[in-house]
A and B are shown apart, each in its own frame.
Chain A
């Protein structure tokens, strides 16, 4: 008898990656999705295809969809679910917590923010909320030839999903780990994946390319991304004392991923919400601060930060970054938009390199 899996978010991770972890043979797939077009299409087609890139080739899987609910329509299904998975993005998590209050069903948070499970436990009173790290890049859109086969096609790469061992009974094609290993994997993902990944995207945005691998095909951009990776490797070794071999292996693995021409990782997905990525403890400003605290001058990360300042996408929730960067003088921008202040090392460094970094970014295309 199949079990019920309720997934909040039918995007890149929810649709593209999770079926490879929790087999649709074993689980009936139910989604909760607020995007009307996507929800209607899933309910109309009752299936979609996810492609996994293995050794530079696609392997496909057709995933039957029992139903895709609009938010709040799923309430009755919650009690039937064997497990609930969230992949909605950190900014949207609060919109779903109300419906998950006072249940004991395991909830796996596949969110790119390690503080989410604790937040959810406190709001929902459910002690079985755990963190998971899908160590993959998953594109929310497939290349045209795959979409021709199925308009709901989605592409993911092969990668391990690390999940807190507290819910190990759920099984699946994943690795259940204890807190320390989860923390190590998170640190690596946060700084060796997230930081250079979004820098590659912001550089790609400046280059006006669509996909991440196209950004990495630009020699200057690739040099900046690789440089940022090395800066973060230094932090993981000096500050968090991770093993050298692990750090080096992880960094090389990530750079290979960013260059993967089959993933079609859209720039506007990775670069979205620049202010969230520029928050004080996040992957750009937070990463640069960590470098400084370890005695590393984060020259390449600062180029990435400056590229993020220049992100220009009027459809992005943080589109106002354009108004701020274009209207304010650099020192006012850093103070008002970034909450950085005179005397702080990063403020002074960014200000000192403001013009040269902008010039370097402008020269990417030459």
Chain B
């Protein structure tokens, strides 16, 4: 597929879904828990996801799409496919905290090559593609390299049910980084964490056993912005990925403190 076209379709779909989220942000939303109290879904999540699927299928009816709510929608080409999350940060959304996003990635040969993250509350559209560059709204962006001590970091914890025995280690890692840098936030949106890194706001972020749809677009954006990124599937079957991304000068510092695999 033409990468420029793919990027434009992803941008359109992300903004359309974002508009839908915004339109319903003041509705009374019934949140249904999934794997934990923090992992919830609303009717709006599903509507926004349907909207994205409709746009992507309209562009290419044979697309394969990996989604958060509907699973995998098989198409002709499994190798090159979309990964979408209509609402990353549902807990923030239902609590009217303006830090959530639509996340859309296009994957070629197992790597994201197009990524779009849209926060409809702030109208911040992050978009980028291999060979094209990375932007926020009208501006070209890049991460801001500095030493770890001068950076603010962000974390996305694993789900409560993921390896409960080692869960306390995640809090220890959080503590180590939080106390030796400008601090560490648990924001509730991994997609936005990576986008903020790409823009130069955060110096880095990490997530243990995050869902691939939360981070696929953000991983590309962080990479394109000049950040150092490492990610691995911890369970391909469950679509779980662990990921560390920081500005280059903070990389060694963070790698020493954060052990995800």
Contacts and interface: CB of A to CB of B under 8 A. Distances in A.
Given A320-B133, A323-B127, A332 B15 contact: yes
Contact of A321 (B8, B133, B138): B138
A317 B125 contact: no
Contacts, number: 43
Interface string A321-335: 101101111001001
Q: Which of B4, B127, B132, B137 has the most CB of A within 10 A?
A: B137
Interface residues of A, number: 18
A337 interface: yes
Interface in B1-29: 4, 7-9, 11-12, 15, 19
Interface string A120-156: 0000000000000000000000000000000000000
A275 interface: yes
A171 B257 CA distance: 63
A66 B7 CA distance: 48
B12 A327 contact: yes
Given A323-B11, A327-B11, A336 B123 contact: yes
A318 interface: yes
A338 B137 CA distance: 9
Given A320-B140, A327-B12, A328-B12, A335 B123 contact: yes
Interface in B132-146: 132-133, 135, 137-140
Contact of B137 (A317, A326, A327, A337): A337
B138 A323 contact: no
B12 A275 contact: no
B74 to A, nearest CB: 26
A323 B8 contact: yes
Contacts of A332: 15, 19
A337 B19 contact: no
A320 B139 CA distance: 8
Contact of A324 (B4, B11, B19): B11
A323 B131 CA distance: 14
Nearest 8 pairs between A and B by C-beta?
A327-B8, A327-B11, A275-B138, A327-B12, A320-B135, A337-B138, A332-B15, A336-B125
8 contacts: A317-B140, A320-B133, A320-B138, A327-B11, A328-B12, A328-B15, A336-B137, A338-B138
Interface of B: 4, 7-9, 11-12, 15, 19, 123, 125, 127, 132-133, 135, 137-140
Interface of A: 275, 278, 317-318, 320-321, 323-324, 326-329, 332, 335-339
